[in-house]
Structure 1
Amino acid sequence: MANLITVGRVVLLFGAIATLYSSSYIAIFLAGLVIALVFAGDGFDGWVARKRGSTSQLGAVLDIAGDRVVENALWVVFAHLGLVGVWAPLVILTRSFTVDVMRSVALAEGKTPFGDQTMMRSRLTWFLTASRFSRAAYGWSKALGFVFLAWFVAWQLPDADGRFLDILYNHQVFRAVGWVLVYASVTLCVVRGLPVIYDAMYYLKEPADRVEQSERT
């Protein structure tokens, strides 16, 4: 069930992305709500898996893959639409590929990103990648940032004049907060990836070197 929710999130995402190119104020406004729903589903699939006792290595990997598709696709689309610089998706994609390759090394050792067989080796890694505070801060900044960008597309349309988004986006403070969320999500993405790469380096070492490092720590 949880895996179906993850797949459903990706399907909804592609529908929302197609709608962003429709030049329809109402359609793009609704696309923003769908994007919010996609991010809400990120936590829901994990909750369902824990509730049903169906957590698995496949589920953990699929959940991360779904998150990558959602995040990377949206950055590329908004760069294509001219709302963010091309450097943003390049940074995100580089971080994603690097972290996922390093995680695959740990996966070969029977370790998962989260859960009982986690690859995490330090409290700092746990805090930055798995703590409720970190996951909430990153999740909310992404969700609100992407909804802000989606509705920014709608606001730029001629038929947005006098409507809800026109009133909202005409406030300079609102736009400033929106852009802060957008670029805060980029920063958090990079910061959260660094300890994962560091911890994964352990699994690249020879067994004897691992024992020596574990004894030192």
Structure 2
Amino acid sequence: MANAITLSRFPLLFIYIALLYTKNPTVIFWCVPFVVFITLMDTFDGIIARKFGEVSLLGSALDIAVDRAFEIILWVVYSDLHLVPVIIPIIVITRGTLTDTVRAVGMSRGQAAFDQVKHPLSQFLVSSRFMRNLYGITKGFAFAFVTASLGFIVLDHPWAGWVHIMALVISWLAITMTILRGLPVIIEGLSLLKDPPLAKKDSTTP
């Protein structure tokens, strides 16, 4: 069930994007709670996985992959709509590519994504439920404000400028957290990229 919830975010995401491009302010404002809901689904699937004992390496990998695609697609769309600077999706794509490469190596050796960092500070930034929830909430606010700013811009509302500024501030806060949570994975993961030492051959073996 948890994996089904994870995958269901994709069709909902595409519906949301299609609605943004209608440039209908009423539709766009309805998209604000819609995108928050889709973002929070990342939390729902984790809760359900733990409750029903569906936690697995596959589920962890799938959750990260879908969440990564979700973020990248949204930031690219927002950039295309001229709501955020293009550097934001560039940062997200670069960070995601590096961290996912490192995590893939760890997973190939049976290590779950959030178990690959060992330093206490790294574990707090990357694996702690507090930081994961805070990051999710920050992203939710960023996506909501960016969506709302589009509605105000389409309406040519006097508040459009201020709402857009708020959207950019929260977006950059989310990106800062993205970088801070990605660095420990990359730094500690460098050791995983080294080939494991070959087992020494027993000299007594003919």
TM-score normalised according to structure 1 size: 0.85
Mapping 1:6-45, distance limit 5 Å: 6-45=6-45
- Structure 1: 5+ residue stretches without partners: 210-217
Other-structure match for 2:141:
144
Conserved in 2, the CA contact under 8 Å of 1:99 and 1:196?
A: yes
Aligned partner of residue 188 in structure 1, secondary structure: helix
Q: Distance in 2 between matches of 1:89 and 1:59?
A: 25
2: CA distance between counterparts of 1:61 and 1:94? Answer: 18
Q: Distance in 1 between matches of 2:65 and 2:142?
A: 20
Deviates more, 1:12-21 or 1:136-145: 136-145
Residue in 2 aligned with 1:68? 68
**What is the CA-CA distance between 1:26 and the residue it aligns to?**
1.7
What's the counterpart of residue 203 of structure 2?
A: none
Query: Once the 2 structures are TM-superposed, how far is the Cα of residue 96 of structure 1 from its aligned partner?
Result: 0.4
Shift of 1:177: 3.9
Q: Deviations over 1:145-175 (max 9, x none)?
A: 11111111111123x75xxxx7xx4694x65
Match of residue 194 from structure 2: 205
Give the equivalent residue in structure 1 for 2:125.
128
Moved over 3 A (4+): 169-172, 174-178, 206-209
Return 5+ residue gaps in structure 2 as ranges: 199-206
| Shift in CA distance, 170/28, structure 1 to aligned 2, threshold 3 Å | closer
Distance 1:2 1:109, change over 3 A: same
For residues 1-217 of structure 1, the aligned pairs below 5 Å read 1-114=1-114, 118-158=115-155, 169=159, 172=162, 176-208=165-197
Measure, in 2, the Cα distance between the counterparts of 1:62 and 1:150: 26
Q: What TM-score results when the alignment is normalised by the length of structure 2?
A: 0.89
Residue identity over aligned pairs, in percent, reads: 36
